[in-house]
Structure 1
Amino acid sequence: TVGEIGNISLYDAAENRSSQVYLSNKYTWDNGLTWTASARYDHARGAFVYQTPMSLTYVKDNPAYNYKTINALGQRENYTGDYVQSRMSCLNAGDIDELLFTTELSKKFSRSTLRVGLNEWLYNIDYASNTTMYDQSVAADGSYPVRVYDANKRDYYFYDFNKNASEYYKGTENKLAAYLTHDWDITDKLNA
Structure 2
Amino acid sequence: MLEKGKCYKLVKVLVKQFEGIKYLSFCDGASVELLPDFLEIDLPEEDEDDEITVQATHPIMKAYGEIVSVLSITDYTSCIVCTGSVRHVSEVLARCTKCQATMKLSHCNSCKSAKILLSQESKKSYLTAYNEQLQDIISDVDGETLEEKLLSSGEISVQYYTATNTIKTVSKVPSASSD
- How high is the TM-score relative to the length of structure 1? 0.22
Larger Rg: 1
